[in-house]
């Protein structure tokens, strides 16, 4: 297929595809999905080999969020039955992190629900970062706390944070349809603050909220312009009690096409499969490792994930290997560029590639950017329409009842 050959060549050169090419990837048929995966896999292996980076989420403060993000089980007024608790103490958070690190994770993402942290909250998180780093040698730490005020990113960096996660989630044109209590521009501002402070930036998206192909391409092109070190791709987990609980728009094949499109547009960036892979990729998860070089281990913020042991077996059975703590995640040219601007970007010895949150269970943890390269995708074709709803698999969605905020051992 000429399209795929062209995209592989561009990916190896770090050249941006056209929007029409990105749309064409999403419009390929299920019959072609293995060819799409094979092509994007060449780009993934060129920049990241067969390594898979493992990340672990610690939900520092769950529920009780004042924001109204439609996808989020922690949103204002939600009745989802999730765990609700206030800030974990530093030692409790460190113990939770240690479980994930023992399972093979090299990065911990500290997440808290809410619009954004107060200065006192930043002090709390700083103490938690210190506890984790003192008790776990070589760990990378990412903070995911929502919208940042002036000076807070610098304080997190001084406290030892390597990265900051704030997801863009959807296209600028449709953002107001999912959230009204803050704006797309607010998200842009926070990611820019993280960049300016020398933190490794992470920003990603949520697929499956009823968006069109054009929306998906728009958000991924905006992320390319934002230039984060990592891009988490969430697949909506339709939790009962949220406004998007009836949105079952994804098939395993569509998820693979979305991941392939992200890889072609962001060839040398850490692409992470975040929330929802178990729900929507299901038995096709191993194929997705040919596209993404990073996953979360175990459970998510408010929902259960695949058992950590099963994650490790899946990686090995698919012919991949867990990235070690001494290995640099990102390609050398990105590490060097980050060093020039004061952030580590994937080098454990110098900072971090970002992973961070990426799991859409946290209202406050979002990202931001804008399309600096030409606005919306022009035109709408049948291939760009939002896909038809699929059969609901509510049996695959389970609220987290273990780990942080409970007395039960975490799934790591």
pLDDT, tens digit, for every residue of 145-159?
999 999 999 999 999
Q: Tell me, yes or no, if 69 is annotated catalytic.
A: yes
What's the average model confidence in pLDDT over 369-398?
A: 54
- The pLDDT tens digits for 80-107 are 888 888 999 999 999 999 999 999 999 9
Q: Tell me, yes or no, if 255 is annotated catalytic.
A: no
Instruction: Check residue 271 and give left, alpha or beta (phi > 0: left; psi -120 to 50: alpha).
Output: beta
> 44, 144, 157, 202: which one is catalytic?
202
- The pLDDT tens digits for 113-140 are 889 999 999 999 999 999 999 988 889 9
Asked whether residue 402 is domain-assigned, the answer is: no
> 44, 142, 277, 345: which one is catalytic?
142
Distance of CA 303 to the CA centre of its chain: 15
Residue 9: other Cβ atoms inside 10 A: 12
Exposure letters 53-82 (e unless 16+ CB within 10 A, then b): bbbbbbbbbbbebebbbbbbbbbeebebeb
Give the span between the Cα atoms of 129 and 142, in whole angstroms: 9
Coil, helix or strand for 31? helix
Residue 372 has pLDDT above 70, yes or no: no
For residue 297, what pLDDT is reported? 95
CATH of residue 162: 3.20.20.70
Known binding residue 109? Answer is: yes
Assign 218 a pLDDT band (cuts: 50, 70, 90).
very high
Asked whether residue 125 is domain-assigned, the answer is: yes
Kindly report the pTM of this predicted structure.
0.89
Nearest CA-CA partner of 244 in 284, 275, 199: 275
Give the span between the Cα atoms of 322 and 80, in whole angstroms: 34
For residue 375, what pLDDT is reported? 35
What's the average model confidence in pLDDT over 237-262?
A: 94
For residue 359, what pLDDT is reported? 52
Coil, helix or strand for 59? strand
Q: Tell me, yes or no, if 363 is annotated catalytic.
A: no
Give the span between the Cα atoms of 2 and 16, in whole angstroms: 16
Burial class (CB in 10 A: 0-12, 13-18, 19+), 160: middle
Q: Tell me, yes or no, if 202 is annotated catalytic.
A: yes
The percent helix, strand, coil of the chain (3-state, each to 5) is 40, 10, 50
Q: Tell me, yes or no, if 369 is annotated catalytic.
A: no
Known binding residue 255? Answer is: no
Asked whether residue 404 is domain-assigned, the answer is: no
Assign 348 a pLDDT band (cuts: 50, 70, 90).
very low
Assess contact for 103 and 127: CB atoms under 8 A.
no
Q: Tell me, yes or no, if 272 is annotated catalytic.
A: yes
What are 399's strand-pairing partners? 303
Nearest CA-CA partner of 62 in 47, 78, 49: 78
Render 88-127 in DSSP notation, one character per residue. Answer: PPHHHHHHHHHHHHHTT-SEEEEEE-SS---HHHHHHHHH
> 157, 272, 277, 400: which one is catalytic?
272
Assess contact for 140 and 352: CB atoms under 8 A.
yes
For residue 367, what pLDDT is reported? 33
Asked whether residue 63 is domain-assigned, the answer is: yes
User: Could you tell me which residues come within 8 angstroms of residue 167 by beta carbon, excluding any fewer than 6 positions away?
Assistant: 187, 203, 204, 205, 206, 232, 234, 357, 358, 360, 365, 366, 367
What's the average model confidence in pLDDT over 44-51?
A: 98
Known binding residue 369? Answer is: no
For residue 324, what pLDDT is reported? 93
Which of 41-55, 229-243, 364-378 comes out lowest in average pLDDT?
Answer: 364-378
Residue 205 has pLDDT above 50, yes or no: yes
User: Could you tell me which residues come within 8 angstroms of residue 100 by beta carbon, excluding any fewer than 6 positions away?
Assistant: 54, 56, 57, 58, 108, 297, 298, 308, 410, 412
Asked whether residue 74 is domain-assigned, the answer is: yes
Residue 350 has pLDDT above 50, yes or no: no
Exposure letters 247-272 (e unless 16+ CB within 10 A, then b): bbbbbbbbbbbbbbbbbbbbbbbbbb
For residue 394, what pLDDT is reported? 87
371/127: higher pLDDT: 127
Give the span between the Cα atoms of 7 and 18, in whole angstroms: 10
Residue 54 has pLDDT above 70, yes or no: yes
> 44, 72, 75, 224: which one is catalytic?
72
What's the average model confidence in pLDDT over 32-42?
A: 98
Known binding residue 202? Answer is: yes
Looking at residue 18, the DSSP 8-state letter turns out to be: P
For residue 70, what pLDDT is reported? 86
For residue 383, what pLDDT is reported? 42
Asked whether residue 64 is domain-assigned, the answer is: yes
For residue 99, what pLDDT is reported? 92
For residue 340, what pLDDT is reported? 74
Asked whether residue 412 is domain-assigned, the answer is: no
For residue 250, what pLDDT is reported? 96
The secondary structure element, H or E, covering residue 38 is helix 33-48
Q: Tell me, yes or no, if 357 is annotated catalytic.
A: no
Residue-averaged pLDDT of the chain: 87
Asked whether residue 333 is domain-assigned, the answer is: yes
For residue 386, what pLDDT is reported? 54
What's the average model confidence in pLDDT over 163-183?
A: 93
Known binding residue 272? Answer is: yes
Domain hosting 369: range is 2-396
> 109, 144, 345, 369: which one is catalytic?
109
381/391: higher pLDDT: 391
Number of domains in the chain: 1
Give the span between the Cα atoms of 116 and 144, in whole angstroms: 9
CA dihedral in degrees (276, 182, 109, 237; nearest 10)?
-10
């Amino acid at each position: 297929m000429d399209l795929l050959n062209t995209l592989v060549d561009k990916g190896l050169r770090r050249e941006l595809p056209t929007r029409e090419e990105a749309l064409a990837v999403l419009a390929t048929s299920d019959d072609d999905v293995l060819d799409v995966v094979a092509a994007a896999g060449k780009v993934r292996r060129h920049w990241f080999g067969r390594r898979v980076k493992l990340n672990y989420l610690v939900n520092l403060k769950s529920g009780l969020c004042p924001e109204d993000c439609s996808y989020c089980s922690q949103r204002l007024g939600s009745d989802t039955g999730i765990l609700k608790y206030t800030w974990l103490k530093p030692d409790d958070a460190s113990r939770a992190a240690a479980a994930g690190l023992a399972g093979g994770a090299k990065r911990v993402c500290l997440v808290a629900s809410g619009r954004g942290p107060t200065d006192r909250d930043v002090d709390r998180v700083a103490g938690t970062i210190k506890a984790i780093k003192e008790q776990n040698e070589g760990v990378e730490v990412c903070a995911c706390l929502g919208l940042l005020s002036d000076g807070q990113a610098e304080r997190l960096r001084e406290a030892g944070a390597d990265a900051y996660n704030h997801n863009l989630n959807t296209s600028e044109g449709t953002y107001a349809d999912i959230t009204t209590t803050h704006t797309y521009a607010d998200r842009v501002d926070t990611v820019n603050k993280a960049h300016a402070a020398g933190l490794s930036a992470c920003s990603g998206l949520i697929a499956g909220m009823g968006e069109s192909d054009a929306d998906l391409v728009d958000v991924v092109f905006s992320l390319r312009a934002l230039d984060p070190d990592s891009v988490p791709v969430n697949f909506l987990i339709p939790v009962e009690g949220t406004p998007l609980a009836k949105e079952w728009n994804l098939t395993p094949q569509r998820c693979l096409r979305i991941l392939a499109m992200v890889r072609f547009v962001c060839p040398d960036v850490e692409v992470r499969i975040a929330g929802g892979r178990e729900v929507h990729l299901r038995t096709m998860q191993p194929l997705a490792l040919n596209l993404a070089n990073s996953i979360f281990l175990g459970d998510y913020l408010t929902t259960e994930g695949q058992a950590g042991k099963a994650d490790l077996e899946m990686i090995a059975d698919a012919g991949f290997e867990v990235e070690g703590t001494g290995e640099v995640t990102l390609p050398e040219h990105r590490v060097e560029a980050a060093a020039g601007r004061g952030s580590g970007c994937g080098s454990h010895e110098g900072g971090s590639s970002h992973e961070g949150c990426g799991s859409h269970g946290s209202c406050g943890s979002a990202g931001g950017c804008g399309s600096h390269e030409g606005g919306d995708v022009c035109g709408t074709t049948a291939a760009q329409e939002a896909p038809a709803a699929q059969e609901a698999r509510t049996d695959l969605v389970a609220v987290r009842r273990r780990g942080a905020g409970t007395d039960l051992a975490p799934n790591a």
